[in-house]
Homo-oligomer: A and B are copies of this chain.
Amino acid sequence: MKYNIAVGQSGGPTAAINATLCGVIEGALQSGNIDKILGCVNGIEGVLNENFADLSQLFASEEKRKLLKQTPAAFLGSCRKRLPQDLNDAEYKKIIDVLQKNNVKYFVYIGGNDSMDTVDKLSRYAKENNIDINFVGAPKTIDNDLAVTDFCPGFGSAAKYIATTVRELAIDAAVYSSKSVLIVEAMGRNAGWLTAASALARTEEFSAPHLIYVPERAFSIDKFIEDIKNVDSHSVVVVVSEGVKDENGTYICEGASSGVTDVFGHKMLSGTGKVLENIVRERLGVKVRSVELNTCQRCASHIRSEVDIQTSVQIGKEAALSAIEGKTGVMMYFERTGDSFKVKSQDISLIANEEKMLCDEFINKEGNNITDKFIEYVKPLIKGEAELICRDGMPVYIKL
């Protein structure tokens, strides 16, 4: 008897999360063991509401799968729902009932930290209650902050977008002969991976960005002003994480964020670049501009990394095949050998809720730049230009 596989997407969008969804579809088709591929609309909420899309039908053709691969953000919709701590909560029984009613034996959840927590809980609930459904996690997050895996799908494309945009902004900023400062704010609440990736904008010809500040190091405004004074260029380019904090752990943008929090209680940040812009104008009296890259970082599908897309498809495929082969309570991850990557799996309880920061050897001593070791790490992840199918001068994206 053939069973169904269900797949959901959760957390913040990326430019590669649909490539992983495509991989899950291709893995399920490839296995020959699957009846239907059910897409959970809005992640685990789609299960609770019994709202499924029949992906076997929708993506039977390779042409449609190609368009899925290049479409940004979660095709199935996303959610930010966190399951209850107490495994005896009725919500678990409801989820399992819906899955069993729909003949689902395999479940792949594509997401970040909070989503891996969902996979962890559901797989523990299933084991404790002798339920024969396999739960597997496929990572995605532009933040690149999941433990164990060498990198997270979605990060490479975001890194490529940030580096390209910073290179362009830096060239733009340097056209006038007068002294100026450009501050680019990148995403990263606690981890500086995206901000650090801006260093890829540098070449032998172009020295920008001159200064890079990540949340892993305490940020001093006095030191920042001194650093700018010491840059040997009429046009200084700084890239800073939204989440930089002073030595007391207070966010630099604290004043501007007015304490708004998301549903997980994370502080909603914005405005670090703007705060620093005003400080530079006041203290140095030079022309200064700040640019917040904002959500463009996670959805700029028009400039995806081919390596990111290929590996995102691959990890989705292996997640489906692993679930079908009997694995449960695991997250798929990448191991690097040289410039190539191999997909493996690991007990998800060792991964969920762990946040991976930039390691010390990736940040310079002064805390105002990154090291060559980081460049070596990130360079292979942005390689290659993913195919982009356009119509009338615009990328073709699809909708559920």
Contact = CB atoms under 8 A, between A and B. Distances in A.
Interface of A: 13, 42, 45, 71-74, 77-80, 160, 163-165, 167-169, 171-177, 200-201, 205-206, 289, 291-292, 294-296, 298-303, 305, 307, 379, 382-385, 388, 390, 392-395, 397-399
B77 A175 contact: yes
Contacts of A163: 394
B80 A176 contact: yes
Contact of A175 (B74, B294, B300): B74
A393 B176 contact: no
A382 B394 contact: yes
Nearest to A258: B278
26 contacts: A13-B175, A45-B177, A73-B175, A74-B175, A77-B175, A79-B176, A160-B394, A165-B296, A165-B300, A167-B394, A167-B395, A168-B302, A169-B295, A169-B296, A171-B397, A172-B295, A206-B399, A289-B294, A291-B294, A292-B292, A302-B302, A302-B303, A382-B392, A382-B393, A383-B393, A384-B393
Contacts of A45: 177
Contacts of A301: 168
A103 to B, nearest CB: 25
A177 B79 contact: yes
A73 to B, nearest CB: 4
A235 to B, nearest CB: 10
Given A205-B398, A295-B169, A42 B382 contact: no
Nearest to A14: B172
A397 B164 CA distance: 10
A77 B165 contact: no
